Amino acid sequence: MRISGTGIANKSKEGELLDVYFSSIKFNDREISQNIVHNQNTSHEIIEISWSQEDLDRCIENISDAYFKLQLLSHKFVLPNTLNLDGLFDCIPNVAWTNYGPISLNEIDEKLEESKKSDNNLYIKSLDKFPCLTDYIVPKKVRIADTRRVRLGAYLSEGTTVMHEGFVNFNAGTLGTAMIEGRISAGVVIGNNSDLGGGSSTMGTLSGGNNDVISVGENCLIGANAGIGISLGDNCIVEAGLYITSGTKIHLMEGDIIKDVVKAKDISGSSNMLFLRDSTSGKVISKNNKKESILNTQLHKND
């Protein structure tokens, strides 16, 4: 496996690398390439990378490693959860992301004062380790209503629409056409023709004690303000407002009869399931799903 990249890094006045934009990447037979102008600007540094499969599998050791792996994901050279991202948070600095690019937190007060004096209108978008995806990559045939809500390292397939309240973290995303009006947490992947309703969420692995990587299969619907801490197979529906954690007791129904009671984690990844809460008893029940989730094709052409 042959992997290489050429990028340009922004540096602080103290020489700290703030980010790296890789405009040229070769990954086996695939390639993206844009010319980088080599200049004498002391705030920039040219970064060259030459990797093999071993480098994809090793821990992240520096900021160049981190940004290269994040951009491999967002360019869709690799799928989420196939790279070793251990060490990521230790290697990328917390910076001020502005309309003039990344600025060191040690220098942002000075830049703000200069802006007020000269009417440069410096705008601080966020104080974070991660920039937004579109500061580096504009994915093709994808709609993003609010670009601030999609982080670099997100994997967005053609036909994906991320609405204003949708959010996509790094090392997560969509594997086909999808409507995202909810939250895709780190490590979570959403299958083709699936829909995350407004305010819905998927439980990630970065915090909260959840160690299982969550996935959603094809033709699924997670209703508004619902959420999952288990995986869904294909053709599943979670009713609006219902949050299923791994320990939720699920009453498996056959007709009007409860056939079994299991923890949700025991049926994680199962297909053709309709999850809802009985409005009388309050029990969470699951029935065989006979409905088909169909996205509006006109909304997802995204040409």
- Residue 209: pLDDT over 90: no
The catalytic residue among 45, 107, 110, 181 is: 181
The confidence band for 223, taking pLDDT boundaries of 50, 70 and 90, is: very high
26 confidence band (pLDDT: 50, 70, 90): very high
Edge-to-edge strand list for the sheet holding 30-32: 30-32, 17-27, 3-11, 44-51
Span 57-96, pLDDT tens digits: 999 999 999 999 999 999 999 999 999 999 999 999 999 9
pLDDT for 9 equals 95
pLDDT of residue 3 exceeding 90, the answer is yes
Task: Taking residues 104-110, report their average pLDDT.
Answer: 96
Each domain of the chain, given as residue ranges in start order, spans 3-91, 95-128, 133-300
For the domain spanning 3-91, the CATH number is 3.30.70.2010
Dihedral of the alpha carbons of 158, 162, 167, 172, in degrees to the nearest 10: -10
208 has pLDDT over 60: no
> What does CATH list as the number for 133-300?
2.160.10.10
The answer to whether 181 is a known catalytic residue is yes
As a whole number, mean pLDDT of residues 133-148 equals 96
Mean pLDDT of 239-264: 95
Contact 126, 102 (CB under 8 A): no
Of 7-11, 72-76, 209-213, 226-230, which range is least confident?
A: 209-213
Q: What is the pLDDT of residue 237?
A: 97
Q: What percent of the chain has pLDDT over 90?
A: 84
pLDDT for 27 beyond 60: yes
Cα–chain center distance at 90: 19
**Quick count: other Cβ atoms within 10 Å of Cβ 298?**
6
Please state the three-class secondary structure of the chain as a single string. Answer: CCEEEEEEEEECCCCCEEEEEEEEEEECCEEECCCCCCCCCCCEEEEEEEECHHHHHCCCCCHHHHHHHHHHHHCCCCCCCCCCCCCHHHHCCCEEEECCEEEECCCHHHHHHHHHHHCCCCCEEEEECCCEHHHCCCCCCCEECCHHHEECCEECCCCEEECCCCEECCCEEECCCEEECCEECCCCEECCCEEECCCCEECCCCCCCCCCCCEECCCCEECCCCEECCCECCCCEECCCCEECCCCEEEEEECCEEEEEEEHHHHCCCCCEEEEECCCCCCEEEEECCCCCCCCHHHHCCC
Mean pLDDT in the chain? 93
Residue 211 has a pLDDT of 65
| Predicted local distance difference test score (pLDDT) of residue 56 | 97
Q: What is the pLDDT of residue 125?
A: 94
| Cα-Cα end-to-end distance for the chain | 33
Separation of alpha carbons 174 and 193, rounded Å: 10
Query: pTM of this prediction?
Result: 0.93
